[in-house]
Amino acid sequence: MTITMQSTPGSSGYLDLYPERKMSFFKNPYILGLASVAGIGGLLFGYDTGVISGALLYIKDDFEEVRNSNFLQETIVSMAIAGAIVGAAAGGWINDAYGRKKATLFADIIFTLGAILMAAAPDPYVLILGRLLVGLGVGIASVTAPVPGTWRWMLGVSGVPAVVQFVLMLFLPESPRWLFIKNRKNEAVDVLCKIYDPARLEDEVDFLTAQSEQERQKRSNIKFWHVFRSKETRLAFLVGGGLLAFQQFTGINTVMYYSPTIVQMAGFHANQLALLLSLIVAGMNAAGTILGIYLIDHAGRKKLALCSLGGVIASLIILALAFYKQSSSSSSELYGWLAILGLALYIGFFSPGMGPVPWTVNSEIYPEEYRGVCGGMSATVCWVSNLIVSETFLSIAEGIGIGSTFLILAGIAVAALLFVLLYVPETKGLTFDEVEVIWRERAWGKNPNPNTQTLLEQGSHS
């Protein structure tokens, strides 16, 4: 069976031919249930990212050695990221070998154990071990898919979503694609029957049957070093990995992990006030992310990233100036509020664009046979970059000053803007096959298909 760009179920060409087979996800309770339970994995990471920023204020109050050591503070924050690097690297293999359902269950168990360990930690070192386990769980989940009280409750309650997901996941099916690859076609068809109407079901089954055979053959031959042997795939990975590296090095998790600490550096020393102001910043992150869901398919990936980075650069410069002026002026409260404004603007510009765009682009730019390995490698680039930033921010800020630190981040954001402008293609509205044509042309500087130029123009202007 030959599968063309236009005949692939779900592609724009297919839906043009059969408009009656277009799915409405919100009208299918089964799909909504699947998406909701899978989405809890994102909640695990989001909650852990948000809660550690506030919990750190109270951890410093309880443990004097943490209060007196920037390194311990950075390690408490970043140890979850170190665990996530290992989890993300292993998660792809676990997915392929045992399926997404078992991988998610395993991640939930590890995450819950880590949450319990953090809540009961008698010293910073047990707390760090708990953070490592939580990171392992988050890392595995990342490749499958503030609370009142003390810091122990803030960290311990993070295990609740993992328990909920674990219980609900027991009642959900395995991925149909994985079932096909493992020659369990009848089980896969049972799942697909609950998702698609009869008119489209047959096309989906035929497509997965053909594709699963191709994937079985390709997966057995693909290794991570093969990514660098193919010029097209190498270019795609450099763009995907580069986007995720710039996402981290422009400082997003510096702000998310340390926002209450940054607020205190701006002159608002009371824990509750610092936490309240940082929650406002976090609220803007949530609102911006929702806005990004709309904009990413209307404005396009590249344009959204460029606008986002322009705002990020301006915001980081405002932050740098606020802290420079605060250290040399008697009107420190005024510049403290200017720093809060800079933080809010930073999140407001970052969250709709550079938040979702790198992940979206990474899901669209890799050839079929390399999608799994490149996705895992890009996720590892993201976690390693995250680890570097979170493990060094406080030490750098102490060494050269918080204003200079934000100025360095602004310089990196300028480099990111140029990177997106020069190297990132617009993938809005293109199929995987059409994106492969773009890489082929960039790699070899020739037009192997007369439609290539049209596709490039479509990607740039859609």
State residue 318's pLDDT score: 95
State residue 49's pLDDT score: 64
The whole-angstrom separation of Cα 285 and Cα 319 is: 17
Q: Which of 433, 432, 435 is nearest to 460 (CA)?
A: 435
- At 265, the amino acid letter reads M
- Show the low-confidence residues of the chain (pLDDT under 70): 1-28, 30, 34-35, 38-50, 92, 142-162, 213-224, 329-332, 446-462
The whole-angstrom separation of Cα 185 and Cα 26 is: 27
pLDDT tens-digit readout, 233-261: 888 889 999 999 999 999 988 888 888 88
CA-to-CA separations, 436 to 15, 280, 351, 455, in angstroms, rounded: 21, 42, 28, 11
The whole-angstrom separation of Cα 353 and Cα 305 is: 5
- H or E element: which one contains 242? helix 231-249
Q: Are 443 and 228 in contact (CB under 8 A)?
A: no
pLDDT tens-digit readout, 371-423: 777 887 888 888 899 889 988 999 999 999 999 999 999 999 999 999 999 99
State residue 221's pLDDT score: 63
Q: For residue 69, give the DSSP letter.
A: -
State residue 148's pLDDT score: 37
State residue 144's pLDDT score: 60
The answer to pTM > 0.85 is no
CA-to-CA separations, 407 to 18, 264, 315, 324, 343, in angstroms, rounded: 53, 19, 10, 10, 14
| Residue 21 CB coordination number (10 Å) | 17
Q: Are 403 and 335 in contact (CB under 8 A)?
A: no
Q: What is the 3-state secondary structure (H, E, C) of 130-158?
A: HHHHHHHHHHHHHCCCCCCCCHHHHHHCC
Q: Are 362 and 301 in contact (CB under 8 A)?
A: no
State residue 452's pLDDT score: 46
State residue 363's pLDDT score: 84
The whole-angstrom separation of Cα 418 and Cα 416 is: 5
Rg (CA), the chain: 23
- For the stretch 399-414, what's the b/e string if a residue is b when 16 or more beta carbons lie within 10 angstroms of its beta carbon? eeebbebbbebbebbe
Calculate the CA 295 to chain-centre distance.
17
State residue 456's pLDDT score: 45
C-alpha triplet 160, 162, 163: angle, nearest 5°: 65
Residues 82, 85, 86, 92, Cα dihedral to 10°: 160
State residue 311's pLDDT score: 96
Is the alpha carbon torsion for 251, 286, 295, 358 positive or negative?
positive
Q: Are 188 and 208 in contact (CB under 8 A)?
A: yes
The whole-angstrom separation of Cα 321 and Cα 403 is: 7
